[in-house]
């Protein structure tokens, strides 16, 4: 089969690779009908996530048709079913899964000892996201092996197009969970750093959950326009406006009630000098992640407010404002999305017409064109926000 493979930092290629096979009783093999490039895939492309190997198949946002099932698959899945697959691989039976904490499943990362060395404890395995998180082949491919398919593969309606369903695999639940963590009450103002797909869905979800005002912060005009037109958010271009001052002005000096960080480890700072500082520290491994958006979210949030972090981080950050965080009674909630918890409720919202996630799609291309998709997405060319791939 054909699949998009990581070759080296800043290089991917579509190659012929072995077809997936059933290895465990609860496995399924899914023929991919749509997949996508995620912002967190860029951290792999750029070499910031460790334990990548040449030939690893990328991609953790995908859906398709079940073509083979292991004998132990439960929950009524059948060959021929159309499914969306959650990006965290979760057993459904462990301590974490029973509590709905699917992205920290205790049984799905076969390389847990490696992750424990880096993080203290291991999170769940993730499709196409390095050997630190299991070494699983990803979904930018014609076929994928799906472990614990009865937990991670959601059967979906045949009458809804892939474009409305695909993002149930990751970015829609991630944005929704980011907003849910804010404990929004009527009248709240929520600020969102990052106007990529997760930030767009976080803004939309904040309104769905009762926020009065949502402010989206980014530097790309096309993304800010998308947020204004499709979510109803107000926007700030941080290269033109001081964000802390602007948010104080918008909230009578108090600051937002909650701040959502949807940027992650390759954040950009409006100040060229401060951006260079973080890049230099990252280059010599004095920090692994660049956190300007995280710092700004903490400093901006009102006293006693909540900082919700869904931007992907891999290691250590420098100059975190711990004094501000502790002395102002802030709460931080963070994590990879517990996708399986949110898929069915969000599917119902899509069915009712409350959400149409397809608005983030700016490019659709063939699987063989995936390297070009990565190029324009990474370099923010052609107003690229989301690339959908068709095998």
Segments of the chain scoring below 50 in pLDDT = none
Q: What is the CATH code of the structural domain delimited by 2-169+337-389?
A: 3.90.180.10
In tens, the pLDDT along 153-212 reads 999 987 999 999 999 999 999 999 999 999 999 999 999 999 999 999 999 999 999 999
Domain ranges of the chain: 2-169+337-389, 172-334
Using an 8 Å Cβ cutoff, are 186 and 164 in contact? no
pLDDT for res 158 = 79
pLDDT for res 76 = 86
* Topology adopted by domain 172-334: Rossmann fold (3.40.50)
Look at strands 189-193 and 213-218 and give their pairing: parallel
pLDDT for res 285 = 83
Alpha-carbon distance of 274 to 280, in angstroms, equals: 10
Look at strands 306-309 and 331-334 and give their pairing: parallel
- Number of alpha carbons in the 13 Å side-chain half-sphere of residue 190: 37
Alpha-carbon distance of 123 to 335, in angstroms, equals: 10
Using an 8 Å Cβ cutoff, are 173 and 339 in contact? yes
**What distances in angstroms separate CA 365 from CA 211, 357, 362, 368, one per listed residue?**
36, 18, 10, 8
pLDDT for res 346 = 98
């Amino acid at each position: 089969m054909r699949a998009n493979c990581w070759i080296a930092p800043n290089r991917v290629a579509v190659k012929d690779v072995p077809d997936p096979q059933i290895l465990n009783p609860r496995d399924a093999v899914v023929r991919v009908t749509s997949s996508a490039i995620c912002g967190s895939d860029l951290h792999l492309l750029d070499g910031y996530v460790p334990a990548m190997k040449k030939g690893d198949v990328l991609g953790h946002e995908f859906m398709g048709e079940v073509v083979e099932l292991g004998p132990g698959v439960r929950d009524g899945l059948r060959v021929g079913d159309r499914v969306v697959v959650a990006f965290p691989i979760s057993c459904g039976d462990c301590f974490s899964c029973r509590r709905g904490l699917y992205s920290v499943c205790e049984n799905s990362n076969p390389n847990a000892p490696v992750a424990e060395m880096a993080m203290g404890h291991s999170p769940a395995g993730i499709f196409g996201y390095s050997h630190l998180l299991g070494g699983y082949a990803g979904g930018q491919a014609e076929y994928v092996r799906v472990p614990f398919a009865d937990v991670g593969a959601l059967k979906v309606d045949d009458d809804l197009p892939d474009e409305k369903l695909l993002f149930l695999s990751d970015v829609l639940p991630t944005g929704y969970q980011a907003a849910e963590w804010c404990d929004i009450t009527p009248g709240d103002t929520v600020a969102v750093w990052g106007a990529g797909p997760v930030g767009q869905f976080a803004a939309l979800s904040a309104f769905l959950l009762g926020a009065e005002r949502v402010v989206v912060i980014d530097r790309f005009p096309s993304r800010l326009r998308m947020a204004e037109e499709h979510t109803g958010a107000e926007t700030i271009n941080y290269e033109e406006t001081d964000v802390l001052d602007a948010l104080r002005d918008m909230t009578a000096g108090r600051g937002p009630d909650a701040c959502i960080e949807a940027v992650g480890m390759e954040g950009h700072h409006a100040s060229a000098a401060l951006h260079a500082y973080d890049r230099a520290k990252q280059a010599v491994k004095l920090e692994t992640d660049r956190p300007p958006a995280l710092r700004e979210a903490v400093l901006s949030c009102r006293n006693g407010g909540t900082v919700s972090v869904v931007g992907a981080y891999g290691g250590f950050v420098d100059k975190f404002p711990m004094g501000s965080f502790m002395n102002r009674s802030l709460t931080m909630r963070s994590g990879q999305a517990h996708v399986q918890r949110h898929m069915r409720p969000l599917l119902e919202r899509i069915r009712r017409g409350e959400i149409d996630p397809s608005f983030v799609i700016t490019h659709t291309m063939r699987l063989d064109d995936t390297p070009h998709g990565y190029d324009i997405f990474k370099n923010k060319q052609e107003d690229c926000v989301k690339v959908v791939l068709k095998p």
